[in-house]
Amino acid sequence: LVRERPALWDVDNSDYSKREFKESMWNDVVSHMRKNWPAYGPYTAASLRNLFSNKRRTYRNERKKTRPKGDQDSVGVYVGKWRYFQSMSFLEPMAQLRGLSGTADEETMDRETPPPESFDEVLLPDDDCDNNLEFRIISATSVANTRSSSPEVDQSLPESSSKRPREPDAASTEPFELDRGSQPTPKTARIVVETADCDDAAMYFGKTVAALLRSLSPRKLVRCQAEILGVIERYLVE
């Protein structure tokens, strides 16, 4: 949707500097999302604009992970792992002309784009898969809380521990049940039961974590679950 509206990202476009026109373009994108994927809203122009700015910055960084093809082609072979690299490749011509970091105008716009003041979580369909939900925007409050708590979480994770989970049985299909260290405490289990039906930001964050955990091997999954529960339970007792 954004790719089809160059006024939103091409600084050479005659409409790029027209703030009101660009706002109308974002509203068009919002309308399209509400029409085609209403169940995953609500959508706002601010949240979608912020999402695109983040993805554009990621593309600029990922673009550095290319290697020459060995011929006269100017575009190298992408060797990174970001699954949306090809989806964002419509920015490539501008990146070639203006360098890896983008233009000053683009950078200025990124800095001036304020974070959404208030919006619920937004799920967007994967550009490469029909109705496969991948992109996510977390509410402004959740983002602020995450940023402020991240250093504490990083510092609280032990580098090593004598109580590290034992190696899971490779033949098992239920890694979570293999190790007592990854099991929630009675207090945590009670909270889970009492809030199982809550439809809030925490639930969506949990789904995001679950999606990431599914990509881990059984051995890493058990260890990661134990560390996550350990961090959460430390906050519960504060």
pLDDT digits (tens, 9 = 90+) for 36-66: 888 777 788 888 888 888 888 888 888 888 8
> pTM of the entire structure?
0.42
pLDDT of residue 186: 60
At 32, which amino acid appears?
Answer: H
Least-confidence region, from 83-92, 105-114, 210-219: 105-114
Q: What does the alpha-carbon distance between residue 140 and residue 137 come to, in Å, rounded to a whole number?
A: 9
Least-confidence region, from 126-135, 164-173, 180-189: 126-135
Which whole number is the average pLDDT over 111-117? 40
Is 30 a residue whose pLDDT tops 80? yes
Contacts of 147 (CB under 8 A, 6+ apart): none
Nearest-Å Rg of the Cα atoms of the chain is 21
Q: In Å, what is the CA distance from 13 to each residue of 5, 9, 156?
A: 10, 8, 48
Q: What does the alpha-carbon distance between residue 106 and residue 64 come to, in Å, rounded to a whole number?
A: 18
pLDDT digits (tens, 9 = 90+) for 115-145: 433 333 333 444 433 333 344 443 333 333 4
The angle at the Cα of 40, spanning 81 to 228, to the nearest 5 degrees, equals: 55
pLDDT of residue 137: 40
Confidence of residue 102 (pLDDT cuts 50, 70, 90): very low
pLDDT of residue 166: 46
Q: Contact, 92 vs 75, CB < 8 A? A: yes
Least-confidence region, from 114-123, 191-200, 204-213: 114-123
